[in-house]
Amino acid sequence: MADAHPAGLAHHFESFEQQREASFFGMWVFLITEIMFFGGLFAAYVVYRSAHEEAFVLGSSLLDIRWGAFNTVVLIGSSLTMALSVWAARTSKRKLLVVFLLLTVLLGSIFLGVKAIEYSHKFHEHLVPGPSFAMDHFPADEAPYVQMFFNLYFMMTGLHALHMVIGIGLLLSLVVMAARGAFTPENHNLVEGVGLYWHFVDIVWIFLFPLLYLLGRSA
């Protein structure tokens, strides 16, 4: 029986449609777990922010809003190129697919580069949590909570960056496969799956940016 299966259809599926639905559905379920994963951090952030509002505003004023805004634009752009990649795969435009995927990789790397610049600034300013944290830059009774802000800042953006790195790895392997012509209009589930993942990572940033850089700042 298994021999009767067309190429690209795994042995345990009855049809391409079933295979496609399964992989889609699986991707969504996976993204739900990701939401819960980041959710724990967001919960901690909300709890502590409401307890130490001033310190958090102080902390957030030390982030460079220009870099943050620039990165937001970069990521939105990368979501666009990702969506275009999926479209190219669906309409079997192999060259365009490779181009759009590479563009997405490029934008993702720019984001990470900017993040690296920001991190290194924080290192120089001793704003990285730990023994060398610049406690004496702040009023003594706010300093611990400013540090808490940076605890959360590094955890949240760090985990987000880690997701970006994984995403870029996935994109690069897609590039290789696409160049070999591995995707057909019936079977490009991988592109769509990675696309969903990429959009998800962008959306996380869309939440992180206002939460970390903007909130309470105008005051």
Partner 1 sequence: MNLWPKRFPLFPETASRLAQDVDQLYFFALLVTAVFSLLIAALIFYFIIRFRRRSEDEVGQPERAGLWLEITWSVIPLVILLFMFGWGSKVFFDIRKPPRGAIEYYVTGKQWMWKFQHPEGPREINELHVPLGQDIKLIMTSEDVIHSFYVPALRAKMDVLPGRYTTFWFNAEKAGAYRLFCAEYCGAEHSYMRGSIIVMEPDDYEEWLATRGQTTAAAKTGADLFSAQTCDTCHRSDSAAQAPILHGLFGKEEQLADGSLVLVDENYLRESILNPAAKVVAGYNALMPTYQGRLSEEDLVGLILYIKSLGGPDSADASASNQATTQASSDREE
Partner 2 sequence: MGDQMTTPAERKRLNYLNADYGVKSWLLATDHKRIALLYLLSITVFFFLGGLMAVGIRLELATPAGDLVQPDTYNRLFTMHGILMIFFFLIPSIPAVFGNFLIPLMIGAKDLAFPKINLASWYVYSIGGLFTLWSLIQGGVDTGWTFYTPFSTTYSNTYVIATALGIFIVGFSSIMTGLNFIVTIHRMRAPGLTWFRLPLFIWAHYATSLIQILGTPVLAITILLVGAERLFHIGIFDPAYGGDPVLFQHLFWFYSHPAVYIMILPSMGVISEIIAAFARKRIFGYKVVAFASVTIAVLGFLVWGHHMFVSSQSPFTGVVFSFLSMLVAIPSAVKVFNWTATLFEGSVSLDTPMLYALGFIGLFTIGGLTGIMLANLGIDIHVHDTYFVVAHFHYVMVGGAIMGYLGGLHYWWPKITGRLYPVFWSKLAALVVFVGFNLTFFPQFLLGYLGMPRRYYSYPEDFQVLNVMSSAGATVLGVGYLIPMIYLVWSMRYGKRAGANPWGAVGLEWETPSPPPTFNFDETPTVDHEAYEYTSPTETRVA
* Contacting positions for partner 1 (CB under 8 A): 52, 54, 139-142, 144
d(CA 24, CA 26) in angstroms, rounded, equals 5
d(CA 20, CA 182) in angstroms, rounded, equals 15
Gyration radius of the chain over CA positions: 21
Contact stretch for partner 2 (CB under 8 A) within 37-45, 163-171, 192-200, 204-212: 37-45
d(CA 171, CA 195) in angstroms, rounded, equals 9
Distance of CA 197 to the CA centre of its chain: 8
Whose structure tokens read 């696309």? 195
The smaller minimum CB distance to partner 1, of residues 3 and 136, is found at 136
9, 16, 30, 134: which one binds partner 2 (CB under 8 A)? 30
Q: Does 123 bind partner 2 (CB under 8 A)?
A: no
d(CA 187, CA 166) in angstroms, rounded, equals 23
The smaller minimum CB distance to partner 2, of residues 4 and 218, is found at 4
218 binds, among partner 1, partner 2, none (CB under 5 to 8 A by kind): none
8, 47, 166, 217: which one binds partner 2 (CB under 8 A)? 47
Which residues 6+ apart lie within 8 Å of 202 measured at CB?
75, 76, 78, 79
d(CA 34, CA 203) in angstroms, rounded, equals 12
Q: Does 165 bind partner 2 (CB under 8 A)?
A: no
The smaller minimum CB distance to partner 1, of residues 9 and 135, is found at 135
Tell me which residues touch partner 2 (CB under 8 A).
1-2, 10-12, 14, 18, 21-22, 25-26, 29-30, 32-34, 36-41, 43-44, 47-48, 51-52, 55, 129-131, 144-145, 147-148, 151-152, 154-155, 159
